[in-house]
Amino acid sequence: MRKQTLDQLVASGEKIAMLTCYDATFAKVCAAAGVDMLLVGDSLGMVLQGAENTLQVTMQDMIYHTRCVAAGAPETLIMTDMPFGSYEHDKEDACRNAQALLDAGADIVKIEGGGLVETTRYLAERGIPVCAHLGFTPQSVQQLGGYKIQGKTEESARKITQDAIDMSAAGACMILFEMMPAALAGHITETIKTPTIGIGAGVDCSGQVLVIQDLLGIYTGVAGKNPADYKAPRFARNFLAGSDSIQQAIADYVQAVKKKTFPAAEHSY
């Protein structure tokens, strides 16, 4: 079986079900359960490494985990985060680092922020598929003052909308919206031709993504903190609750995304 392209997924008219995972075992289970795309996220800094944020994750980390996921799901479309410091300052460095991730097994690379139009265009012109990450951008957590919803004010909503339009025009093949009002994400999805993926951005995006540890209800916060003090984000849902296996929980997530029953209102802003 040949790997589907993003164009084929979008042309099918179905919602795209994506999960974030970091290893071959979970990648293989996700593929068997019908997940359309896998994201190798720099969230591994918190989920796997126990850090406070994603900022210490390296290119070596992302290359290693991309190889692991690609080994477990060779026929599944894979997106990989470009880590902090690997793309922001020099578009030629960004190109070299993006190519290293493609060589490791990624099909698409993801960069954060809307001010990277020239970098996006530079990569796209060289045949590197780019996903733009807008709304809450974890690599900017310190500048944003913590894990806060974006796009709530008129000015912020206008900026995110324009960033999405600009990144789409620059050649981004996909845009990911995180932690922003569902109405805003839905409006932008209708406005641009580029497919969108939401996480805490409502049901009207072209697809959804969750971290697999959140889907299974097993992530309890970063190392060194009491698990009892951890509160799962609003956009997360434990699909393992009431399911008899991990694979069934993942399959239930896929069906919920495609039937538009997830995210529901209680998972949205």
* Residues 88-109, mean pLDDT to the nearest whole number: 97
Rounded Cα distance between 159 and 56, Å, is: 28
Q: Is residue 233 predicted with pLDDT exceeding 80?
A: yes
Q: Is residue 142 predicted with pLDDT exceeding 70?
A: no
CA separation (Å) from 215 to 21, 36, 150, 232, 266? 11, 16, 23, 11, 15
184-215 pLDDT tens trace: 999 999 999 999 999 999 999 999 999 999 99
170-185 pLDDT tens trace: 999 999 999 999 999 9
* Residues 77-85, mean pLDDT to the nearest whole number: 97
The answer to whether 54 and 139 are in contact (CB under 8 A) is yes
32-63 pLDDT tens trace: 999 999 999 999 999 999 999 999 999 999 99
Of all residues in the chain, the percent with pLDDT exceeding 70 is: 97
Q: Which residues are catalytic?
A: 178
Averaged pLDDT score across all residues of the chain = 94
Q: Is residue 1 predicted with pLDDT exceeding 50?
A: no
Q: Write down the pLDDT at residue 145.
A: 57
Q: For the whole model, what pTM was predicted?
A: 0.94
Q: Is residue 146 predicted with pLDDT exceeding 80?
A: no
Q: Is residue 80 predicted with pLDDT exceeding 80?
A: yes
Of all residues in the chain, the percent with pLDDT exceeding 90 is: 85
Burial class (CB in 10 A: 0-12, 13-18, 19+), 81: buried
Local confidence band at 167 (pLDDT 50, 70, 90 cut-offs): very high
Residue length, the chain? 269
CA angle 193, 15, 20 (to 5 degrees): 100
Class of domain 6-267 (CATH, top level): alpha beta
Rounded Cα distance between 168 and 175, Å, is: 8
* Residues 87-116, mean pLDDT to the nearest whole number: 96
Q: Write down the pLDDT at residue 161.
A: 97
* Residues 71-88, mean pLDDT to the nearest whole number: 97
Q: Write down the pLDDT at residue 149.
A: 86
